[in-house]
């Protein structure tokens, strides 16, 4: 079993859950959770250990509730096609060219995450903002790439039928 499948199973990602996760509301509210998470961590300077309540709430939202709250959708929007493509990637159906680009985007996203971590640890704004911008841009690009993967898979499937 691949690491991707382990992650998907850890989040309880069934076919139905993937369809719910593809809902644009699910996608965009996950992006909206990034600054909320950052604010929750930053708030430790103001409210001390109570900041963990905010961090916990955001993590529950991101890791469990978000992918179950919204209704299932078909791949009719940019965000939905991206998530359907992500599912294909998790299933090992991504060609090598896609996997290479996706790995590069994940590495760049991890650089953004490292900057965010630095900014939140040191309570320093510039690495936090730069890291957030890098992370969000990489994630948007990944979703776009996943959408391209989905469309190519759909075209190949239709040609074989």
Residue-wise pLDDT for 34-62, tens only, equals 999 999 999 999 999 999 999 999 999 98
Place 12 in a pLDDT band, splitting at 50, 70 and 90: low
Region of 123 on the Ramachandran plot (φ > 0 left; ψ -120 to 50 alpha; else beta): left
Distance (Å, rounded) from C-alpha 79 to C-alpha 22?
Answer: 7
Residue 11 near residue 55 (C-beta atoms within 8 A): no
Query: What pTM, to 2 d.p., does this model score?
Result: 0.87
Place 147 in a pLDDT band, splitting at 50, 70 and 90: very high
């Amino acid at each position: 079993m691949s690491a991707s499948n382990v992650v998907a199973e850890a989040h309880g990602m069934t076919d139905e859950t993937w369809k719910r996760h593809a809902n644009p509301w699910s996608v965009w509210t996950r992006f909206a959770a990034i600054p909320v998470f950052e604010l929750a961590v930053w708030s430790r300077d103001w409210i001390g250990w109570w900041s963990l309540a905010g961090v916990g709430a955001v993590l529950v939202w991101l890791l469990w509730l978000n992918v179950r709250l919204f209704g299932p959708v078909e791949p009719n929007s940019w965000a939905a096609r991206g998530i359907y493509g992500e599912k294909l990637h998790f299933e090992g159906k991504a060609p090598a060219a896609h996997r290479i680009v996706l790995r590069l985007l994940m590495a760049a996203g991890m650089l953004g995450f490292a900057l965010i971590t630095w900014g939140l640890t040191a309570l320093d704004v510039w690495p936090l903002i730069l890291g957030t911008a890098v992370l969000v841009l990489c994630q948007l690009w990944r979703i776009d790439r996943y959408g391209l993967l989905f469309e190519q898979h759909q075209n190949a499937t239709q040609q074989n039928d």
